[in-house]
Chains A and B, each alone.
Chain A
Amino acid sequence: GENVGLHLPTLSVQEGDNSIINCAYSNSASDYFIWYKQESGKGPQFIIDIRSNMDKRQGQRVTVLLNKTVKHLSLQIAATQPGDSAVYFCAESTSNYGGATNKLIFGTGTLLAVQP
């Protein structure tokens, strides 16, 4: 696929295991964070978001943890399935522009490879 040869950080897990994808963000003033999943040939797909007044948020099979002290974000995927194979991006945003918009600053991306 198009991800071959990209040299992204890669996490390889067995089907059924839990996955943890980590992200270090850059701006201590960032107050809104989103995790996206991008499959080959598709656009980024929203997974889960979290605001800076929270340190944990859960969705269906996914949990996002936010540690503002060390500027770290993680995405936990429970019981990883082959369909979870994709590139995962964290994105941070800051409340400026008078609330009219949110500029997302994306991390590098992590390739999750699920082995059947």
Chain B
Amino acid sequence: DTAVSQTPKYLVTQMGNDKSIKCEQNLGHDTMYWYKQDSKKFLKIMFSYNNKELIINETVPNRFSPKSPDKAHLNLHINSLELGDSAVYFCASSQQDEGYTGWSYGYTFGSGTRLTVV
């Protein structure tokens, strides 16, 4: 019954490798996100998709490529991993309010993927 689930929970990999993180939401939401949390707990948005369409790309290096095969899934592929990519990556989803432009309901986060690049 997990609302926003992401896999894997932990990922340890060497510099230069390519890796993917998967995310699925069963809330019926139409918008999904990737956020990055650094070692100081600072959370920052990376990407947002609405109904499979990229809406926000927050000046993330193009080594990061999100893919949304359908509105319930948003995966994150990272090429040529660097030490500075080590962080916790959170997937989230929300339902946009059609009655008022811009408000969201039920903005929900997954439990995170801790990526360690060595």
A43 to B112, CA, bound (A): 6
Residues of chain A whose beta carbon lies under 8 Å from any beta carbon of chain B: 3, 6, 8, 31-32, 34, 36, 38, 41-46, 49, 51, 87, 89, 91, 93-106, 108-109
Q: Which of the 9-residue segments B41-49, B61-69, B77-85 touches chain A?
A: B41-49
Query: In the complex, how many angstroms separate the beta carbon of B24 from the nearest chain A beta carbon?
Result: 14
Residues of chain B whose beta carbon lies under 8 Å from any beta carbon of chain A: 4, 31, 33, 35, 40-45, 48-50, 53, 55-56, 58, 90, 94, 96-98, 100-104, 106-112
- Give A108's nearest chain B residue, CB to CB: B42
8 Å CB contact of A99 from B4, B40, B101, B111:
B101
A21 to B58, CA, bound (A): 29
Q: Are A95 and B107 in contact (CB under 8 A)?
A: no
A3 to B112, CA, bound (A): 16
Q: Are A43 and B42 in contact (CB under 8 A)?
A: no
Q: Are B43 and A106 in contact (CB under 8 A)?
A: yes
A3 to B56, CA, bound (A): 30
A104 to B43, CA, bound (A): 9
Q: Are A34 and B109 in contact (CB under 8 A)?
A: no
